[in-house]
Amino acid sequence: GQALEIRAEMINALVKKHAPMCMRQLGQTLEERKHLKHQGRLQFGLFLKELGLGVEQALLFWRRSFANITDDKFNKEYKYNVRYNYGLEGKRVDYPARSCARIIMQDTPGPQDTHGCPFRHYSPANLASTLSTTYGLGQAQSSEILATVKSGHYHVACTRLFEMTHGVARGKGLDGKGESVAHPNRYFERSWKLQQS
């Protein structure tokens, strides 16, 4: 379901504040490179749609984000994809946002890609550096996350990062009752809700 009504200009700040690492990294790449590759656009675009971003605002967001290309190129090469995500082109399927299982198991990112799940797909060094620079985690917290990842518990690592960065006690999870991260949109919604309470 839709968590809130968002406009294009709100996205970057909302993503930084409330999105899980996979989406935050895509948002950051888009800001830095003014571009995202196909799978990244799908993963991030469907996430934003499920947050409540309508197609007109989505077109505005992607157009502004791809700041280094002309309107003509945008309209020819990217507009269709944005509308496709909303079921307005091609097969006309209103695609759902990808779950963690989908992101972790399918469309494994190559070396130049930034989609996927950082807990599953980043090297330990890259993950450690993201935890310290983007999230400001100290040594002990960072080591705990890395050990969890090493044992293959990606969802647990993501849930622990949520707890650490939202002042939530260990084991309380997304909802205060131990809910583990299984979908990026649930992560966002819980984070956003905590801010309201």
Q: Tell me phi and psi for residue 153, to 5 degrees.
A: -100, 75
Least Å distance between CB 105 and ligand SF4? 10
Instruction: Check if the beta carbon of residue 142 is closer than 8 Å to that of residue 158.
Output: no
Nearer to ligand SF4, 25 or 85 (CB): 25
Nearer to ligand SF4, 61 or 187 (CB): 187
Q: Tell me phi and psi for residue 179, to 5 degrees.
A: -65, 130
Nearer to ligand SF4, 60 or 156 (CB): 156
Least Å distance between CB 149 and ligand SF4? 10
Cβ burial, residue 182 (10 Å; 0-12/13-18/19+): middle
Rounded CA-CA distance 190/155 in Å is: 15
Least Å distance between CB 64 and ligand SF4? 24
In the chain, the amino acid numbered 128 is: A
Least Å distance between CB 182 and ligand SF4? 7
Q: Which residues bind ligand SF4 (CB under 6 A)?
A: 20-22, 100, 103, 117-119, 154-155, 158, 181, 184, 187
Cβ partners under 8 Å of residue 59, min gap 6? 79, 82, 83
Unique residue bearing structure tokens 């948002």: 27
Nearer to ligand SF4, 24 or 65 (CB): 24
Q: Tell me phi and psi for residue 42, to 5 degrees.
A: -65, -50
Rounded CA-CA distance 107/113 in Å is: 10
Least Å distance between CB 187 and ligand SF4? 5
Nearer to ligand SF4, 59 or 160 (CB): 160
